[in-house]
Amino acid sequence: MLEAAGLPIGAGGRIQVDQFQRVAGHPNIYAVGDSALLLDKTTGRPVPPTADIALRSGETAALALTAALQGRTPERVLRPITRNVISVGRRNGAADLLGVKLKGRLALIIKDLIEWEYRQSITWLQGYSVATVV
């Protein structure tokens, strides 16, 4: 579907974007979330399409678009940080944070903190309908 739109597609069928979420070769088009292909600068590999990355890519695009509309050069770029965490039962977890592997209660606490951070980032949406946000 994205290919039919004439956008540059990369690994996993995602749209190739620059560090400001602008579509490669189309500086006035932005792609965010699961549809955007972000590459880890260290490894050159695609960053997994997680909710955390999607939220931060949206923020990066919004700041870049605001700068463009104000005639400024975008400054803030998304630096993907891979934070893979899962719960394993009620009292344990497993995590891989920047290559540091953790397990047990500490990993579960970190997972809970990441979820809390996410919930805090969307609290402004409370009370809004989709029509109000759009």
What per-residue confidence (pLDDT) applies to 122?
67
Per the confidence metrics, is the pTM higher than 0.85? Answer: no
Q: Are 45 and 38 in contact (CB under 8 A)?
A: no
Domains in the chain with CATH codes: 1-81 (3.50.50.60), 82-134 (no CATH)
User: Which residue do the tokens 């400054």 mark?
Assistant: 75
Residue-level pLDDT, tens digit, the chain, 134 residues: 677 788 899 888 899 998 899 999 998 999 998 899 988 877 888 888 877 788 788 888 888 988 888 898 888 766 666 677 888 888 899 988 877 899 999 999 988 888 888 777 766 656 555 444 44
What per-residue confidence (pLDDT) applies to 132?
46
